[in-house]
Chains A and B, each alone.
Chain A
Amino acid sequence: MFPNLDFVGGWRIWFAISGALLLLSAGAIGIGRLNLGIDFQGGAQFTVVNAESQPSDEEITGALPSGIDREAVLIQTLDEDGYEVRTPVLSEGERRAAQDALSQVFGVQAGEVGVTNVSAAFGGQVRNQALQAVAAALIVIVVFISFRFEFGFALAAMVALVHDILMTVGFYALVGREVSLVTVVAILTVLGYSIYDTIIIFDRIRENSPTAGYNRRRFDEMVNVSIRQVVRRSIYTSVFSLIPITALLIFGEATLADFAFALLVGIAAGTYSSIFIASPVLALYKAWRGGRLRSPRTA
């Protein structure tokens, strides 16, 4: 596959494509499109499925008890007759009143209105835990790859990882999907997947590497050949992972669909970055090291 594509030599093009997409993502996050869910900010969320009646948004907000800030209420429809109503943090009494009111508006029993209520402090704690988990995973993976391969591989894999995470979060912001705890799970999965994909390619590069001596032209060509040898597998694997994920996106309800969307973007980015980001970065790093090691001798 791709017998004439120069994966390493064309790095400026690949980096430019990624750079443009990342800039777009950063822009979306910058203008505040990232929709943090109640898991991170605190708040209450009411979920109704199989509603008997289909009230308008005004009717729904109107039914809520008077203490709740109307401006901050978010209403989303799920499928045909499901609704999700999000409000700021509520006291115990307010929550109950809101639950009763909503069950009347939607014509269902109070017990059928699902409620998630998260205090602001707990939301902050969840956010910190999530960031810690991502950071810890990154560090451990660098150590693992440095140990199994060498530092240059770890560095390149890390660049690809950060690329994939930013891409996933950025696309999430672009389409305005809600970031919840499940999104964090998805991002960590993308992290695991991306590293796995990169390692399959690196494994081949390691296998094809000459035991001694570094020559830039030879090394770059060897990386290109290695990629050509495994690129079919990379694409197949992506396709095979994306099939069940697309099924989740289509058939899954809100939570699963959000999860699937993050994985869809992340895995696509992961496949791209293993080939077009991680491998060129590795080659460039080798060239930089090689040049630095040799220059005193030639001088």
Chain B
Amino acid sequence: MGSRRNNLIILGLVVVLLGVATYLIFIRQPVTESTQLGLDLQGGVSAQLKGTQTGGGKVTREEMELASNLIRQRIDRLGVAEPDVRVQGQDQITVQIPGVENPEEVIDIIGSTAQLGFYRVLDSEIQQGIPQDEVQDARTEIEEDLKDDDAFQDGDAKVLFEESPMPGGGGGTYVAGYVLNETPDMTGDAIQQDGATVEPNPTTGKRQVSIQLTGDGGRQFGDLTQEIVSEAAPTGQPGLLAISLDEDVISAPQVTEPIIGGQVSISNDGLPEGLPEDEATQLETVLNTGALPVSMEVVAQNTVGPTLGTASLRSGLTAGLVGFALVLVLLLVIYRALGLVADLALLIYGFLLWGIIVAVPVTMTLPGIAGIVLSVGIAADANIVIFERIKEEIRRGKTSRTAIAAGYEKGFRAILDGNATTIITAFILFALSSSTVRGFAVLLVIGVVVSMFTAVLVTRALLGLLSDRGVHLPPGMMGVSKKSIGQQQPERVR
């Protein structure tokens, strides 16, 4: 058993640590805000994105890092809380945004490559007032018509679509298909840095997104619009300019004269207010942060409603607390005075663990709660291994003081080996798994390490201090019946 001084140092350390934990959990901020909750417990959205080269080639780690930075900037501009964006493996990005109210919009923004394209429209077809569930059929029909067209068959062309609510609020959807050159005549590279702004149209007052082009871009745009006008002249119809974001046409205004000066605006004159507000903000955000270097595909997505999150949290907490309380009671019943010491150590354990979770901070998730519940079992077990040893020594007729010393000495090796394997498994889990599993692994490791401290060192210091004070624990108070003392002898290995 450690010397009296060591025992006092350990207990003093415990008091200091408890003080620090109390400060971190209760005083630094209100206790309800101290623990960072994962999105499965407070609601939110997570998405797994996979990057691919537009041509189908391999993406590099650098491109993914760049893309993840851009995605983080986009989310920051939305002003939602604390996004967690990280590159995973060679070609994937995990995005986690807790407590977000409009997950759909967020996924749209982070996932879109935001490659802007300007095209001269070669041919088009429009269907109006289509009910929601027939839009797909309308698109197929338009696509078939347009693919028979000369403009499509002549060269390298593709068909892109525009969908928007019917102008004037007549109900249904406006579906238009456009035959365009395979490669855009101009791309988003022509936009000046931070050149996109949402503003009302100076004459109509409707909401639009104005784009300021670079000097070069302005000249190219002048040429493009000039071409549209002259190509359209023989037909007697005004030519169309299609502006696309990724593979969707967002606007296709008529061009009646060449546009010079490098100012372009995207609007929707069909709606009473112009572009819907959220659509305009999205457009501004993605245009200003620039295009992602690779195409992103959402391979997995998880949205948790706030009610579901709260329900999970409540059930997890109830289970954790009930389990914890039962463990405390059972330890007391089986080990009496020793159990009391172990209970005290477990309570210290729980509190220190909470303190570490707040200090790091570790984000609490459902698998995390499971990790904690398991570590409570491990913490209790360390005491069981030692206490069973102590009881065994007492049955062999040793005094409680020597029995306790022997119990700790012999029990510790088994506990160390056992916990080492648990930590090894946890590290492997952490290295090879997705972020869901990581929360579990992290808490398991922290829990095991803290439990070695409280269940071994702290209980030993407490028991040591008791015996130094002259408190003698009779066998009955350690859960050993008087009858069984001395009966263990025949069981010894010969």
Contacts and interface: CB of A to CB of B under 8 A. Distances in A.
A196 interface: yes
A6 B138 CA distance: 78
Contacts, number: 230
Contacts of B300: 116-119, 122
Interface stretch (B145-153, B175-183, B302-310): B302-310
Interface in A98-140: 111-119, 121-122, 126, 129-130, 132-133, 136-137, 140
Interface stretch (A23-31, A166-174, A179-187): A179-187
A248 B425 contact: no
Interface string A203-246: 11001100000000000001001101110110011011101111
B299 interface: yes
A44 to B, nearest CB: 9
Interface string B421-435: 110111011001110
Nearest to A148: B417
Interface string B353-377: 0000000000000110110011011
Contact of B421 (A116, A199, A204, A236): A199
Given A49-B308, A115-B303, A192-B425, A244 B326 contact: yes
B388 interface: yes
A232 B307 CA distance: 44
B366 A255 contact: yes
Nearest to A218: B494
Given A240-B380, A256-B369, A250 B319 contact: yes
Contact of A188 (B326, B420, B429): B429
B50 interface: yes
B414 interface: yes
B82 interface: no
A184 to B, nearest CB: 7
A259 B318 CA distance: 16
Interface in A139-175: 140-141, 144-145, 148
B232 interface: no
B18 to A, nearest CB: 23
Given A114-B303, A114-B304, A185-B437, A248 B373 contact: yes
Contacts of B384: 233, 236-237, 240
B302 A256 contact: no
A208 B493 contact: yes
A132 B432 contact: yes
Nearest to B297: A119
A113 to B, nearest CB: 6
Interface centre among A141, A188, A230 (most CB of B within 10 A): A188
B413 interface: yes
B298 A240 contact: no
B200 interface: no
B48 interface: yes
B421 A229 contact: no
B169 interface: no
A185 B48 contact: no
Contacts of A250: 319
B322 A253 contact: no
B380 A248 contact: no
Contacts of A136: 428, 432
A199 to B, nearest CB: 5
B316 interface: yes
A200 interface: yes
Nearest to B48: A122
B385 interface: yes
Interface centre among B319, B334, B384, B492 (most CB of A within 10 A): B319
8 contacts: A111-B103, A114-B302, A188-B429, A192-B425, A197-B418, A236-B334, A243-B377, A256-B319
Interface of B: 40, 48, 50, 101-104, 133, 136, 297-308, 311-312, 315-316, 318-320, 322-324, 326-327, 330-331, 334, 366-367, 369-370, 373-374, 376-378, 380-381, 384-385, 388, 392, 410, 413-414, 417-422, 424-426, 428-429, 432-434, 436-437, 440, 444, 491-493
Interface of A: 3, 47-50, 65-67, 82, 92, 96, 111-119, 121-122, 126, 129-130, 132-133, 136-137, 140-141, 144-145, 148, 181-182, 184-186, 188-189, 191-193, 195-197, 199-200, 203-204, 207-208, 222, 225-226, 228-230, 232-233, 236-237, 239-241, 243-248, 250-253, 255-256, 259-260, 263
Given A192-B426, A196-B421, A225-B491, 9 more contacts: A119-B300, A195-B421, A196-B378, A199-B418, A240-B381, A255-B366, A260-B319, A260-B370, A263-B374
